[in-house]
Structure 1
Amino acid sequence: MGVSIISLVALAIAGLAFYKVVIYPCFISPLAKIPNAHWSVPVSPGWMLWKRFRMQNNRTIQAAHERLGPIVRLGPSEISVNCVDGGIKTVSMFTMIGTKSHSVRKRMLSNIYSKSTLQTSPHLRVVSNAVIYDRLLPILHDAASSEQSIDVHDLNQGLTMDFVSCYLFGLQNGTNHLQDHEFRKHWLHMYLCRKPFEFYHQETPQLIDWMECIGLRLIPKYCDTANDMLDAWALDLCGKAAQSLNSTDPTVEPIVYKQLKQSLDKQAAKEGGPKPDPAEQQNDIACEMYDQLTAGFETSAVGLTYLLWELSKNPDLQSKLHEELMTLDPPIGIPKSAELPPAKAVDALPLLEAIVTETLRLHAPIPGIQPRVTPSPSCSLGGYDNIPANTRVNAQAYSLHRNPEVFPEPETWRPSRWLKEENSTVDLEEQKRWFWAFGSGGRMCVGSNLALQETKLVVAAIYSNFRTTIVNDDGIEAIDAYTVGPRAEQLILKFHPL
């Protein structure tokens, strides 16, 4: 009798487990109505985790959307949407997955990164003149004069770091990676050596702790060394900025650092608590500044690399761009004869705008998933109702930018698709709704205006003075990751003076 009861209890537990693990997610859950990217996804996240581990996330999700439509299921409690209405417009309001909320910080810094502020900023103007005229153009001029080729991807990473760091901390306190090639090479090695292990932090953070508990490491020790070096580097930049807080000289004043520190001080005073510990606050600021530095330099460098690659394959378009750039007053010339033209004038050039936008569409530096979680009690997405709370829902620029109904021939780089006068059938407003290179909503990239302004200025400076041709673009295809870059980590071009 006792054995029978035990058997019945065991059967009941097994039946309940089978219902919860198989029957409900496969047949009863509201998610069961959503097409499965793989037969196993209702019961296990393993298939998608394996694809991400092998760096196949973006293309795998895109293939699923092409087969199954604008909403697909990727796991027991994970879906992907690839539409605007009922998709990213709704998802942008959800809570983003992460360790902390950035909304408060974004409000603190939104004005300093606004388009109107950047276009009139004396600080950014000083930085732009120094980086373009004193650093970039001399390097390109020397290479062109000696007929030497340049790895522009490497150069772009130094260029964008200088732009971002000098705006954050002041020209005097920022980096000079463009001219300090050896340090740039060392810094990039330390930064990039950790990239292959991002999967564990993003997808299986608990696994790292579990493995360490049994004496095994998933992340090599050299990553700890690199992290320590990068932390010290960020703190050093913040230390220099802290010593310049009282300056109002545009070449010295750390405008973004100062804005964040003053905002944190005001917030602490408003909350009425104890005065912030200086060391803790400095560490907090350094973390925020490091995030902005690394995100800003890496993505802008990738975008510039692919823009130069596409233009180098299109000499006729280079000529048209040069003609447009010659309308700037004053022109950007070598040697320097005047200050840079106003940022507003550079921003108003339609062909330049189209070239930058199309590059960010086809070669989005961050094409990967932007995960959120659905709110309680439920919501509707992509025509499906009652999506349960705490479902991970992703959208990715890689897929949004490849909708052939919005972007005909989506794999073709064609700036004219953004020029109404050259394409009377184009629906510019619809294309803009689907353009997601910087995300949207509360977690839209705070530095998007800075990235666009520096990119346009750099492209204007280059093609006002040079034409470019490809020497070696082997490995230019992008890796499949959240943040991409050329698989070979290089693009070799030659610059020819005009």
Structure 2
Amino acid sequence: MTGSIFDQAVVFLVYILYHLIYRPLYANPLRKLPGPKLFAITKWRLALADYHGVRTQAIHTLHQKHGTAVRIGPNEVSFSSLSALKTIYGAGSGFERTGFYRMFDVYGRQNLFTFAGVKKHAERKKLLAHAYSKSAILSPNGIAKPLIEKNVNNYLELLDRQKGVAEETFQSLHWFSLDSITGFLYGPQHGGTYALTGNEPHRKLLGDIIDPTRRMLSWYAVHMTGYTKWLYTRTGAMEKLVTSLGLLPMQKPATYTGIRAHALQSWTEFEASVVDNPPDLSIVEKLWRHSKSSKGSRLDSLDMASEAADHLLAGIDTTSDTLMFTIWALSRQENRKYQQKLIEEVHGIPDSDCNDFGNPTVEVADKLPYLDAVIKETLRLYAPLPASEPRSLPVDTTIDGYVIPAGTVVGMSPYTLHRNSEVFPEPLKFKPERWLGECGDCTEMKKWFWAFSSGGRMCIGLHLAMAEMTTLLAAIYRRYSTSEYRGQTGASPGITSRFEVFYDETLPKEHECWINFERLTQTD
């Protein structure tokens, strides 16, 4: 009996040594890559950093210590060179998105964001690319221009009407981005929201998005996928037990529940009322038109609803967070000189280039060089999606001289690319002038700028987001100057509900972002 137990213990020990020590450290081609042994042995070391919301910072620290190629898991490698960027994310690279993205499927259907294969992604993108093109976004005959200009005016009216409410910019800018993306996707009648003008049900749609426990749910969904699915599919007595024991990482309704319900209802209302020839403006109308005219594979109702819902989710946080960090950065005492330059630029816009609301038009705001530099610098320091974008290749390949076996997860992060001190001198400082050629080679900096990704998977909503941001910021600083609330001086706004806690790493974080808006006089 004793011998049997001893034999089993030896077998177990050999198994552990083989799978946790020998195989990852000595038998895997990735053994030649630099990096801590603990990261190479188990995925749970990186998962621990995820748990604390510091994954991207942890990987960045590893790059600073080990160089441009670092092994961060038994089957995962992070890179930070331009050559790797081209190899992994360049057009025709062959690298595909990993299973990580399937957590963003909607209504059980894949969409533009979650397709792994290049072919399916390209086919779906082809349907939508023109609607998101810069010419379409800026067109006076399109849906985006009047929508954005109306919402910009609604934001300014909110500042005038409920200054104390609007000054908590994390919340109020979410209302702006929500109203903009829903109007663009669904049009005003079948899903466009009116959070800025006080619609409480529409404002409440954001509740589960800004809930800090959303981040913990994301962690469980990524690292304990089966267990998380089991937890949230319990019903009856078992559901009550799971809830009472506090096992749910986020109480129901879970993240995106409100948004996805609104998106499905919006699509259903559109489909029920659609006429034979709707104007080809909103995204849902474009998808519907394709489904009726396509001779090949058609999208069914859930495919179209999933696609629109995914764009809705993608278009809220990213835009509002960037706007918040831009206003906050310009409001800091040490950066007021940059704010003054922006105020001077927007005050130089003639009244003839303003719309009926008295604000700069979308087209005019798009052409302001200093405003563009301010936004680029914000996106460099506070990219709304700072984490790695995982990819894999079904065959062996070589990246930067290292053999990467088939199926290995590889990735790069804008956070690390944007903090390369050789390209961006004093990388942690907010310096819009660097984009105007005053702090280095602009051409080189643009090569390293990766806030919107690159290649075929580059953010399709780039021009819409930029139009929203430039138009709102031009209007704000034409009418107001901004400064930090005294109680928040010396602290950074913190994004605590996303997959990763994100804030200015040189400062302690706050969960809100209060800004003073002071009306400018004509002599300012």
TM-score by shorter chain over 0.5: yes
Q: Which residue does the alignment assign to 1:492? A: 514
Q: Which residue does the alignment assign to 1:263? A: 290
Identity in percent: 28
Residues 208, 138 of structure 1: CA spacing in aligned structure 2 closer, same or farther, 3 A cutoff? closer
Paired residue total: 475
The structure 1 residue matched to 2:132, chosen from 109, 113, 118, is: 113
Cα displacement (A) at 1:124: 1.4
Q: Which residue does the alignment assign to 2:494? A: 478
**Residues in 1 aligned to 2:514 and 2:349: alpha-carbon distance in whole angstroms:** 29
Residues 484, 120 of structure 1: CA spacing in aligned structure 2 closer, same or farther, 3 A cutoff? farther
Q: Which SS does the other structure have where 2:158 is aligned?
A: helix
**Residues in 2 aligned to 1:154 and 1:76: alpha-carbon distance in whole angstroms:** 40
The structure 2 residue matched to 1:125, chosen from 139, 145, 155, is: 145
Q: Where in structure 2 are there 5+ consecutive unaligned residues?
A: 103-113, 116-120, 504-508
Cα displacement (A) at 1:226: 6.0
Q: Which residue does the alignment assign to 1:390? A: 407
The structure 1 residue matched to 2:425, chosen from 408, 411, 421, is: 408
Paired AA for residue 208 in structure 2? M
Q: Which residue does the alignment assign to 1:321? A: 342
**Residues in 2 aligned to 1:136 and 1:223: alpha-carbon distance in whole angstroms:** 31
**Residues in 1 aligned to 2:7 and 2:380: alpha-carbon distance in whole angstroms:** 59
The structure 1 residue matched to 2:88, chosen from 87, 90, 95, is: 90
Paired AA for residue 321 in structure 1? L
Q: Which residue does the alignment assign to 2:22? A: 23
Indicate whether 1:379 and 2:397 are aligned: yes
The 8 Å contact of residues 178 and 184 in structure 1, kept in 2 or not, is answered as no
Q: Which runs of 4+ in 1 moved over 6 A?
A: 7-14, 210-215, 247-250
Q: Which residue does the alignment assign to 2:52? A: 54
Residues 301, 82 of structure 1: CA spacing in aligned structure 2 closer, same or farther, 3 A cutoff? same
The structure 2 residue matched to 1:179, chosen from 169, 174, 197, is: 197
The structure 2 residue matched to 1:66, chosen from 64, 67, 70, is: 64
The 8 Å contact of residues 170 and 513 in structure 2, kept in 1 or not, is answered as yes
The 8 Å contact of residues 321 and 352 in structure 1, kept in 2 or not, is answered as yes
Indicate whether 1:456 and 2:474 are aligned: no
Q: Which SS does the other structure have where 1:467 is aligned?
A: strand
The structure 1 residue matched to 2:264, chosen from 198, 215, 235, is: 235
Residues 13, 50 of structure 1: CA spacing in aligned structure 2 closer, same or farther, 3 A cutoff? closer
Indicate whether 1:151 and 2:150 are aligned: no
Q: Which SS does the other structure have where 2:217 is aligned?
A: helix
Alignment of 1:331-342 (within 5 A): 337=356, 341-342=360-361
The TM-score with structure 1 as length reference comes to 0.85
Cα displacement (A) at 1:156: 0.2
Q: Give the superposed CA RMSD.
A: 3.3
Indicate whether 1:437 and 2:437 are aligned: no
**Residues in 1 aligned to 2:195 and 2:127: alpha-carbon distance in whole angstroms:** 28
Cα displacement (A) at 1:346: 1.8
The TM-score with structure 2 as length reference comes to 0.81
Paired AA for residue 74 in structure 1? I
The 8 Å contact of residues 438 and 444 in structure 1, kept in 2 or not, is answered as yes
Moved more, 440-449 or 178-187: 178-187
Q: Which residue does the alignment assign to 2:206? A: 188
Q: Which SS does the other structure have where 1:270 is aligned?
A: coil
Residues 12, 156 of structure 1: CA spacing in aligned structure 2 closer, same or farther, 3 A cutoff? closer
Paired AA for residue 179 in structure 1? T
Paired AA for residue 61 in structure 1? I
Cα displacement (A) at 1:338: 5.7
**Residues in 1 aligned to 2:443 and 2:134: alpha-carbon distance in whole angstroms:** 20
**Residues in 2 aligned to 1:456 and 1:435: alpha-carbon distance in whole angstroms:** 18
The structure 2 residue matched to 1:41, chosen from 30, 36, 39, is: 39
**Residues in 2 aligned to 1:264 and 1:159: alpha-carbon distance in whole angstroms:** 31
Instruction: List per-residue Cα deviations over 1:138-163 (Å, max 9, x = no partner).
Output: 1223356xx88711111100001111
Indicate whether 1:167 and 2:165 are aligned: no
Residues 169, 489 of structure 1: CA spacing in aligned structure 2 closer, same or farther, 3 A cutoff? farther
Cα displacement (A) at 1:454: 0.7
**Residues in 2 aligned to 1:465 and 1:264: alpha-carbon distance in whole angstroms:** 45
Residues 88, 399 of structure 1: CA spacing in aligned structure 2 closer, same or farther, 3 A cutoff? farther
Moved more, 470-479 or 100-109: 470-479
Cα displacement (A) at 1:200: 1.6
Cα displacement (A) at 1:308: 0.3
The 8 Å contact of residues 484 and 516 in structure 2, kept in 1 or not, is answered as yes
Q: Where in structure 1 are there 5+ consecutive unaligned residues?
A: none
The 8 Å contact of residues 392 and 407 in structure 2, kept in 1 or not, is answered as yes
Paired AA for residue 131 in structure 2? I
The 8 Å contact of residues 185 and 283 in structure 2, kept in 1 or not, is answered as yes
**Residues in 2 aligned to 1:349 and 1:209: alpha-carbon distance in whole angstroms:** 48
Cα displacement (A) at 1:485: 5.6
The 8 Å contact of residues 156 and 304 in structure 1, kept in 2 or not, is answered as yes
Cα displacement (A) at 1:43: 2.1
Instruction: List per-residue Cα deviations over 1:26-56 (Å, max 9, x = no partner).
Output: 12422111112x3222221121111111211
Residues 91, 16 of structure 1: CA spacing in aligned structure 2 closer, same or farther, 3 A cutoff? farther
Cα displacement (A) at 1:440: 1.3
Q: Which SS does the other structure have where 2:397 is aligned?
A: strand
Paired AA for residue 296 in structure 2? K
